[in-house]
A = this chain, B = another copy of it.
Amino acid sequence: MADSRFFKRKGPFSVQEIAELTGAELVNAPDPSRRFDDVSPLQNADASILSFFDNRKYLDAFVSSSAGGCFARPEFVDRAPADMVLFTTSDPYRAYAKAATAYYPFDAANGVVSPHAIVADTAMIGKGVQIDAGAVIGENCEIGDGVIISSNAVIGEGVVIGAGSRIGAGATISHCLIGNLCLIYPGARIGQDGFGFAMGAQGHLKVPQLGRVVIGNDVEVGANSTIDRGAGPDTVIGNGCRIDNLVQIGHNVELGMGCVIVSQVGISGSTKLGNFVVAAGQAGITGHLEIGDGAKIAAQSGVMKNIGAGETVGGSPAVPVMEYHKQTVALSRLIRKKK
């Protein structure tokens, strides 16, 4: 299904292997040695294909699908087509992610340092590292085992990159410690000076930015996103965070574990997010705030105040989301009256 110019498929895998890999329960699986060739969404699937049904919106597609096998929640078993092998699980999308990764594993380092890469003599390069053409690795860098540094990325002096992390093409990283299994996308800018200066009519005087960016394990930083280093303390990105494209993270910002920061969000200097905070697209968070664990920030919100754990806010300036919806309704009523 996937274009073979870009994707190399493994497999096929048997019903048995898929069940073991994902921990799903088998239903309607007379032949555990039957094999599926590929994965695909429900709409395009045939008998050789493994698919998934997660979002109830697609129930019709599930009911009429020709997919040979499908991950689904147990309560939908009796809605499945008669010939479909079912892999039941409480989280079909997660199970599908595991199966799809078996068919299409993420790139592993090929162990080749390109003769067209420029690697400082003092850089410490781990085992099996891949460094592509045009990449530049600075003095005293520490590059962990199995890391991939893509073409034309620039890794500044002293930067540490943990095992299994992958750095995208054209990304630039300085003043930064990166953990294991991170994924930095093309064009991300990490570790440059924050926006720090003493403002004044006689000119804005730059203040040295003496902190670092410290990134945990299993973090993603999206394409062309920017993370400034700390001014004195560090900028910190916790384990498991997912940062989308074109996001701005200012100096001294701290993200807890598992935060999800959607495209074009901006987080101003010294703001601290707890664990598993979600900020939707184009939201802005002003500086020096505390955002509690599990808080949710709606798209385009403008957050000007602290947010408690578990709260959901919307609007600009942001207010609790129920209040925001009422404001929207009140505004639309107001103009109906005026007609």
Chain A interface residues (CB < 8 Å from chain B): 1-3, 5-7, 39-41, 44, 91, 93-94, 96-98, 100-101, 103-104, 106, 114, 116, 118, 132-134, 136, 140, 150-152, 154, 156-158, 168-170, 172, 174-175, 183, 185-187, 189, 192-193, 195, 197-201, 203-208, 210-212, 218, 220, 222-224, 226, 228, 232-233, 240, 242, 244-246, 248, 250, 258, 260, 262-264, 266, 268, 276, 281-282, 284, 286, 299-300, 302, 316-317, 319, 323, 326-328, 330-332, 334-335, 338
Asked if A226 meets B232 with Cβ closer than 8 Å, knowing A136-B151, A244-B195, A282-B284, the reply is: no
Closest chain-B Cβ to A26's Cβ sits at a distance in Å of 21
User: Are B281 and A284 within 8 A (Cβ)?
Assistant: yes
Question: Cβ of A3: which chain B residues have Cβ within 8 Å of it?
Answer: 158, 175, 212
User: Are A208 and B284 within 8 A (Cβ)?
Assistant: no
User: Are A7 and B210 within 8 A (Cβ)?
Assistant: yes
Task: Add 4 more A-B contacts to A41-B233, A264-B284, A327-B335 (CB < 8 A).
Answer: A5-B158, A91-B200, A94-B200, A183-B193
Question: Cβ of A281: which chain B residues have Cβ within 8 Å of it?
Answer: 248, 266, 268, 284, 286
Q: Could you say which of A228, A250, A299, A332 has the most chain B C-beta atoms within 10 Å of its C-beta?
A: A299
**Can you list 15 residue pairs at the A/B interface with Cβ under 8 Å?**
A1-B210, A6-B158, A93-B198, A96-B207, A116-B118, A136-B152, A172-B187, A189-B245, A197-B242, A204-B242, A226-B245, A228-B245, A246-B246, A284-B299, A300-B302
User: Are B205 and A97 within 8 A (Cβ)?
Assistant: yes
Closest chain-B Cβ to A182's Cβ sits at a distance in Å of 12
Question: Cβ of A244: which chain B residues have Cβ within 8 Å of it?
Answer: 195, 248
Partner of A330, one of B7, B211, B232, B334: B334
User: Are B172 and A186 within 8 A (Cβ)?
Assistant: yes
A106 to B7 Cα, complex, angstroms: 36
User: Are A299 and B299 within 8 A (Cβ)?
Assistant: no
Question: Cβ of A154: which chain B residues have Cβ within 8 Å of it?
Answer: 134, 150-152, 169-170, 186
A99 to B150 Cα, complex, angstroms: 39
A6 to B200 Cα, complex, angstroms: 29
User: Are A276 and B338 within 8 A (Cβ)?
Assistant: no
A134 to B154 Cα, complex, angstroms: 9
Please, which residue of chain B has its CB at the minimum distance from the CB of A298?
B302
A245 to B224 Cα, complex, angstroms: 10
Please, which residue of chain B has its CB at the minimum distance from the CB of A228?
B245
Question: Cβ of A187: which chain B residues have Cβ within 8 Å of it?
Answer: 170, 172, 187, 189, 224, 226
User: Are A201 and B276 within 8 A (Cβ)?
Assistant: yes
User: Are A106 and B206 within 8 A (Cβ)?
Assistant: yes
User: Are A210 and B104 within 8 A (Cβ)?
Assistant: yes
User: Are B133 and A133 within 8 A (Cβ)?
Assistant: no
Asked if A226 meets B224 with Cβ closer than 8 Å, knowing A3-B212, A260-B199, the reply is: yes
Partner of A323, one of B169, B201, B335: B335
A329 to B106 Cα, complex, angstroms: 51
A250 to B246 Cα, complex, angstroms: 12
User: Are B96 and A195 within 8 A (Cβ)?
Assistant: no
A204 to B200 Cα, complex, angstroms: 45
Question: Cβ of A286: which chain B residues have Cβ within 8 Å of it?
Answer: 281, 299
